Amino acid sequence: MQGKLQFGIGLLATILSLPALAADTVHITIDAAKPGAQINRNIFGQFAENLGHGLYGGIWVGPDSSIPNTRGIRKDVVDALRELHVPNVRWPGGCFADQYHWRDGIGPRDKRPATVNSAWGDVIDTNAFGTDEFMDFIQQIGSTPYVSINIGSGTVQEAHDWLEYMTAAAPTALAKERAANGHPDPYKIGFLGIGNESWDCGGAMTPDYYVSLMKVYSRFVANMNPAQRAQDPMLKIAVGPGTPETAWTEAVMQAWKKHTWSWDINGLSLHWYTVPNGWPPSTNSEKFGLDDYVKGLHTTLFMDEFLRKQEAVMDKYDPAKKVTLTVDEWGAWHAPLPGTNPAFLIQQNSIRDAILASLNLNIFARHADRVRMANIAQMVNVLQSMILTDQQKMILTPTYYVFKMYVPFQNATFLPVTLDAGSYTHNGVTLPRLDAIAAKAVDGKFLLAITNLDPESAVDVDAGLTGTPAKAAHAETLTAPAIDSVNSFASPDSVVPKSSAVQVQGGKLSLQLAPRSITVVSIEQ
């Protein structure tokens, strides 16, 4: 009897020591025969506001700095951003845009006035980084400017003059002033934001009051470069909602439907942050547990419903989808890191935030027929940033690597995906276990991005394209040792993408998705 008992205990110990059996394989089908809308590369846009260390120290260090720079702009940051093929950058805000007066930021830097940044911490702004510095930065990273004009504390004349300064090709007084400041050629402005959050920090306006202003600014604030107007005209983006209610979208779209030759808009903006516990943001960006992980991802998935509500209104007035829905502020907004200036919005960036970014990008891709532009908040050192800097040091965040992995999706053609995603539940909150999108890239390769939201278990997947057997594939995975793993200045490579195994047999793919991971597969036929 004792021998049998010992045998049973030994067998149980052996069973418990074995790795957990893999779950049933998830089957993914990519319908290559039903191409959808183009995934506009502008959904991978960035946002650089004059806020905290986003510009000063993050992008601008000045030409006399010991930090390697080109005309005052950090070389390491430029090199990193060029890898992302950043399509557009929104500047100068944000809430800061409606207090910004462009003349403070041009001309000799030693003669520019010091002003107070009352939007973010009442700190002194030297205005060393202004219009010409921003345009230099844009050219260095190979991007397109998205300029937000001041309709809160500014005037139509001021905004008109700013656009003339930037875009006039004829030898007007403002064009000559730009030339005297070292820039004889006009700048190309890809996008013009007509205000920012006019329902709140941009003036606490009603929808009708904003629409009245929007018409006037759209009429008189014009791009003055005939060559750009003929070939690649500047698109005007109106302020849209920051809450799921649709009254603001209704007012703007109703006005657009009735617009005359004298004014027009091309897009409507939308802001939605992931703030799991409501305002003010209270979740930790480092050293958090499963509750915050699950709640954060669950909250970010609301983006899909938010878009659908606004799109239903837009479709009523614009069934041809001429007006783009521009999500020009999105991302995770966590509590400021302890010991930092709370107005500077400094937070860490973990694998959770990388997964959150992939989910949002996937949602935008599924709405590609209407969502043709987006801007994560923000680019450097602020909120869910691509890059963190500390004096000479720079690190790339997990979110940076998601954007880099998704570069092949820029201007790709969306393809429908079918899968049984399954679910993961923790403390009564349920997430889809998997999320996936597919596309045909501009180089002809097929792309599949799969996010495993499950923080604990790997998932086996097989995938195939209808009517198109795969011949070869390459996969890259971003995962981490724990749900709160981050890249720090002490350990900058804790969360980086690595090649992962993918097998091709009988025209289909098979791979295993690590827990808490994002995998991008490139498929050759």
The C-alpha atoms of residue 239 and residue 214 are separated, in whole angstroms, by: 9
Instruction: List pLDDT tens digits, range 115-128.
Output: 999 999 999 999 99
> Where does CATH 2.60.40.1180 sit in the chain?
21-36+415-524
pLDDT of 21 reads 38
| Global confidence as pTM | 0.93
Among 16-25, 229-238, 383-392, the range scoring the smallest mean pLDDT is: 16-25
**CA-based nearest residue to 465, from 408, 522, 404, 410:** 522
The correct CATH number of 21-36+415-524 out of 3.50.50.60, 2.60.40.1180, 3.40.50.150, 3.40.390.10 is: 2.60.40.1180
- The answer to whether the CB of 494 falls within 8 A of the CB of 415 is no
**CA-based nearest residue to 105, from 124, 132, 123:** 132
Residue linked to tokens 């970010």:
300
Task: Summarize the confidence of residues 11-29 as an average pLDDT.
Answer: 55
pLDDT of 18 reads 35
The C-alpha atoms of residue 359 and residue 518 are separated, in whole angstroms, by: 10
Looking at the domain 41-410, which fold is it?
TIM Barrel (3.20.20)
Q: Is 197 a catalytic residue?
A: yes
Question: Does the pLDDT value for residue 8 go beyond 90?
Answer: no
Instruction: List pLDDT tens digits, range 408-441.
Output: 999 999 999 999 999 999 999 999 999 999 999 9
Q: Pull the structure tokens for residue 330.
A: 């999105």
Strands 144-149 and 88-91: parallel
- Separation in Å, CA 250 to CA 211, 312, 367: 11, 10, 19
- Between helix 75-82 and helix 131-141 the angle, nearest 10°, is 50
pLDDT of 24 reads 77
pLDDT of 314 reads 98
Catalytic member of 305, 329, 476, 524: 329
- The answer to whether the CB of 96 falls within 8 A of the CB of 54 is no
**CA-based nearest residue to 327, from 438, 518, 193:** 193
Mapped onto helix, strand or coil, the DSSP state of residue 509 is: strand
The secondary structure of 331-345 as a DSSP string is EE--PPPTTS-GGG-
Q: Pull the structure tokens for residue 388.
A: 């963190």
DSSP conformation class of 56: B
Task: Summarize the confidence of residues 197-219 as an average pLDDT.
Answer: 97
- The answer to whether the CB of 158 falls within 8 A of the CB of 150 is yes
Task: Summarize the confidence of residues 6-21 as an average pLDDT.
Answer: 37
pLDDT of 227 reads 87
Catalytic member of 197, 286, 311, 456: 197
Ranges of beta strands (E only) in 31-132 are: 46-47, 69-70, 73-74, 88-91, 115-117, 123-125
Question: Does the pLDDT value for residue 335 go beyond 80?
Answer: yes
Question: Does the pLDDT value for residue 319 go beyond 80?
Answer: yes
Q: Is 49 a catalytic residue?
A: no
pLDDT of 230 reads 80
Instruction: List pLDDT tens digits, range 445-501.
Output: 999 999 999 999 999 999 999 988 899 999 999 999 999 999 999 999 999 999 999
pLDDT of 318 reads 98
> Where does CATH 3.20.20.80 sit in the chain?
41-410
- The answer to whether the CB of 452 falls within 8 A of the CB of 514 is yes
Instruction: List pLDDT tens digits, range 292-316.
Output: 999 999 999 999 999 999 999 999 9
The C-alpha atoms of residue 73 and residue 379 are separated, in whole angstroms, by: 14
pLDDT of 9 reads 37
